[in-house]
Each structure stands twice: as C-alpha cells, then as structure tokens.
C-alpha cells in the first residue's frame, strides 16, 4: 500500500490482492464525516483512494498517525470481510433454523443415546 499527502488530500494506492474491494469500500465509508472520499480503479490489481479533508488542512505531524489509522482500519475491515464471507452459510443456516416453523432443520443430538437406567427392554 502506498500513501502520500498533498495539501489537504491523502492519496492511497491499494493492492486488491491483499485488500478486496468490499473491505476497501466499507473501510473508507467511515471516513465520510471528515473527508470527501473518491475510490477509483487504477489498474487490474489496485485501486486509488483519494481522501480530501472537508475542513482545514492535514498537519504534517498528523501524517504518521493517519497512516497508522488507515493501515489498521483496512486490516480490520479485511478481517471483518473474511469473517462475513467465510461464515455466510453457517449464519444462513442458523437464521433458517431459528425461524423454521418445524423441526425440519433440527440436527440429531450429538453422541450416542444411552440407557443407563435400563428403561428399554
């Protein structure tokens, strides 16, 4: 990832083989309060994000903090995206089971049903 500053703009080139486009969009959605956000595809495997500060200029002593924040936010949103996509089917199953009006989605209880008291003949 390449981050540079230009007056009140932050320019970010992101490798989409590391951060996917969904995670990038979800991450920079949250920058919309303080920045105007532009996201463009710059090549087959990268996107260009421009953050333009709405009020005032970015101070030079804030730049390192912003780089850290952008890096961490992207990692977090990539992690969230991985969880969302990896668990989509199990979440769908959980919700279907929760709201099913019959026991058609019920699993057999785990383990062998034993008869310790000896009720069965």
Partner 1 sequence: MNRKSRKFLPQDDFNKEGENYFLLPFRFININKHKELLVNDVGDYIISDIGTARKVVNREIDKSGSLYADLISKFFISEKDIPELIDIQATRYRTKKSFLDEFTALHIFVITLRCDHTCHYCQVSRQTSNKSKYDMSKKNLDRSIDLMFKSPSKHITMEFQGGEPLLAFDNVKYAIERADKLSKTNNKEITFVICTNLASITEEQLHFCKDHEVLISTSYDGPKFIHDSNRNFSKGSSHEVVTKKIDLVRKILGEDQISALMTTTNLTLQYPIEIIDDYLAMGFNNIFLRPISPYGFAIKNEKKNKYEIENFIDFYIKGLSHIIDINRKGRFFSEDYSTIILSKILTPLPVGYVDLQSPSGAINSAIVYNYNGFVYASDESRMLAEMSDETFNLGHVKDNSYNQIFYGEKSKNIAKYSCNEALPGCSECGFQTFCGADPIYNHATQGDMTGYRPTNGFCKKNMDIMRYLFNLISDDNDIMGIFTNWVHKGKYDFELRNEA
Give the residue with the Cβ less far from partner 1, 32 or 43. 32
What is the three-class DSSP state of 90? Answer: helix
**Which residues contact partner 1 (rule: CB under 8 A)?**
26, 29-33, 75-77, 79-84, 86-87, 90-91, 93-95, 97-99, 105-107, 110-112, 114-118, 120
State the minimum distance, in angstroms, from the CB of residue 44 to partner 1.
26
Distance (Å, whole) CA 109 – CA 69: 46
State the minimum distance, in angstroms, from the CB of residue 65 to partner 1.
12
Closest alpha carbon to 42 in 65, 24, 64: 24
Map tokens 């990539």 to a residue.
Answer: 78
Give the residue with the Cβ less far from partner 1, 9 or 73. 73
Map tokens 């019959």 to a residue.
Answer: 102
Q: DSSP character for 109?
A: P
Give the residue with the Cβ less far from partner 1, 44 or 115. 115
């Amino acid at each position: 990832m390449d981050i540079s500053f230009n007056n009140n703009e932050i320019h970010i080139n992101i490798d989409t083989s590391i951060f996917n486009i969904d995670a990038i969009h979800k991450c920079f959605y949250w920058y919309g309060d303080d920045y105007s956000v532009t996201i463009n595809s710059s090549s087959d495997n990268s996107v260009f994000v421009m953050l333009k500060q709405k009020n005032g200029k970015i101070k030079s002593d804030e730049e390192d903090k912003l780089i850290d924040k952008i890096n961490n936010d992207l990692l977090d949103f990539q992690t969230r995206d991985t969880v969302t996509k990896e668990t989509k089917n199990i979440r769908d199953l959980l919700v279907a089971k929760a709201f099913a009006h019959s026991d058609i989605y019920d699993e057999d209880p785990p383990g062998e049903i034993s008869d310790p008291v000896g009720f069965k003949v």
